[in-house]
């Protein structure tokens, strides 16, 4: 697979940046790692009770780039859980930071934080899908991972 991103350290955080123009719908990279049952700051929820952790913390390890993906309330990418891939949600220009909405994969964040994405649609504090307002849940629902839909229905967030 052609390497399409790099990890950069800017100011107080790392981020994933595009090395070339990426078209909407294009696979950016695979999400690979080890399955764990306790979430962490760097894991991604992949099923109701399981998460994926990166193989390594090395920024040079292309298989673990995904751990440096930052959140955006108006993302340009999404994680396709069924295919374990990061996919462009819209066209991404060379040099642009690649971001996804953590609330689309995380029902309840292990490490909530105050969002600084700057989007007009910013949620404020990012704690997971469970904690979004009903209106925000309904708007995001069609874009969330299957396990978030199951948990939401099980807990009767959206009826």
What are the structural domain ranges in the chain? 5-154
Is pTM, for the whole model, over 0.85? Answer: yes
pLDDT (0 to 100) of residue 63: 77
Q: Cα dihedral angle (25, 28, 34, 37), rounded to 10 degrees?
A: -40
Burial of 141 (0-12, 13-18, 19+ CB in 10 A): middle
Strands 34-36 and 44-45: unpaired
pLDDT per residue as tens digits for the range 43-82? 999 999 999 999 988 877 777 889 999 999 999 999 999 9
Q: Domain 5-154 is of which CATH architecture?
A: Beta Complex (2.170)
Per the CB < 8 A criterion, the answer to whether 99 and 71 are in contact is yes
pLDDT per residue as tens digits for the range 89-111? 999 999 999 999 999 999 999 99
């Amino acid at each position: 697979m052609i390497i399409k991103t790099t990890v950069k350290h800017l100011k107080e955080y790392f981020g994933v940046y595009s090395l070339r123009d990426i078209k909407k719908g294009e696979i950016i990279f695979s999400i690979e790692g080890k399955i764990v049952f306790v979430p962490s700051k760097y894991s991604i929820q992949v099923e109701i009770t399981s998460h994926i952790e990166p193989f390594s913390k090395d920024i040079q390890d292309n298989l673990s780039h995904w751990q440096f993906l930052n959140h955006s309330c108006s993302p340009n990418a999404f994680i396709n859980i069924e295919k374990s891939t990061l996919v462009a949600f819209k066209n991404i220009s060379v040099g642009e930071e690649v971001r996804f909405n953590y609330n689309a994969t995380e029902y309840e964040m292990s490490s909530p934080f105050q969002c600084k994405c700057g989007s007009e649609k910013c949620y404020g504090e990012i704690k997971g899908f469970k904690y979004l307002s009903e209106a925000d849940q309904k708007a995001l629902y069609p874009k969330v991972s299957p396990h978030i839909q199951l948990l939401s229905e099980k807990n009767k967030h959206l009826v």
